[in-house]
Amino acid sequence: MSTPATSAILNIEPIDLLYTGLEKEALKGKVALVTGAASNIGLGYARALAWAGAKVVVSDISEEAGNEAARVINAENSADTAIFVKADVSSEADINNLAEKAFEKFDKVDILVNNAMNMRLNGSILNSPVSDLDQSYFISGRGVMLAAKAFVPGMIERKYGVVIFSGTQFHYHPPMIGGAIYTAGKAAASSLIMSLANEVKGTGVSAFCLTPAGVNRFDSANPRRPANRPDVDRAKFKMPGFDGFIPPEAGGAGLVYCVLNAEKLNGSGIIMNDAFDAMNFPFPNPETAVRTKLRRLSDFELTMALCNMGPGFEEQNAING
């Protein structure tokens, strides 16, 4: 069990993933880099990867929270488990510096988790300035491409690597969380990851999207809490077995499982519940957990997915028929 750590800056709970069936040293010898790793699900990812034995590069735009996240991870594991590197993922100079610092400390990066995003960019199309869309795309789309170019070549050379994008729904659909501007940037990055998956096939590198739906730890005291997000939203997204949102620590366990099974997931987009189902996650109240099975799209169907969205002419034909 990890040594319990507390923080006056970060909103965290103790982490111990043995109850999930994961092995404590399953990722020993691996190096992971997580962007947006100083809060919420990004911090959950980073702490879980470290718990599983990986060295971790914590990247975030907040220097105070980032340094504290690295301190907590080192306190929970060992002194040289994590380092913090401040970075704006939309800046090529920052990404190059991030790569330089990561290679200087750990010599490589095996696992790249693209998680950074500004969750305040959750407005509607008609009520948002176009600069919000620019920022959303710069963080998600541009950020993913810059990180891929910085870290994937080394993965291909070593014949091992995992690239994950922490995704979301394709478009805003009430009452789902995340407005049009937020989802647009995420959609661009999801497309890049799926294309990257085809580029790296057969190299030992796997790329996929993992959507941490339901994973959150928001409270009124959290300075990163999205604007105009009432607490009553919790009721809409409450998951059976959890008090409100799924804890980021549990979401981190799902990510670790996906990393361990990355070859099976190349070119896939999955939701956190998919990982929980596959790993037989022990829900506190499994009898109340809802399981929804959807047909997976083939690789070719996936390339045409956006061309076939909505009813098209079929619904109108049925009405006229």
Average pLDDT (8-27) is 87
pLDDT digit string, tens, across residues 144-161: 999 999 999 999 999 999
d(CA 150, CA 95): 7
pLDDT digit string, tens, across residues 81-114: 999 999 999 999 999 999 999 999 999 999 999 9
d(CA 176, CA 237): 9
d(CA 83, CA 70): 6
d(CA 36, CA 128): 23
| pTM: predicted TM-score of the whole model, two decimal places | 0.87
Residue type, 81: T
pLDDT digit string, tens, across residues 30-61: 999 999 999 999 999 999 999 999 999 999 99
Q: Does the domain spanning 18-320 belong to CATH 3.40.50.720?
A: yes
Whether 288 has a pLDDT exceeding 80, the answer reads no
Boundaries of every domain in the chain: 18-320
Whether 202 has a pLDDT exceeding 60, the answer reads yes
pLDDT top residue among 236 and 272: 272
Residue 184: pLDDT band (50, 70, 90) is very high
Query: What is the structure's pLDDT at 214?
Result: 76
Average pLDDT (272-285) is 76
Whether 232 has a pLDDT exceeding 50, the answer reads no
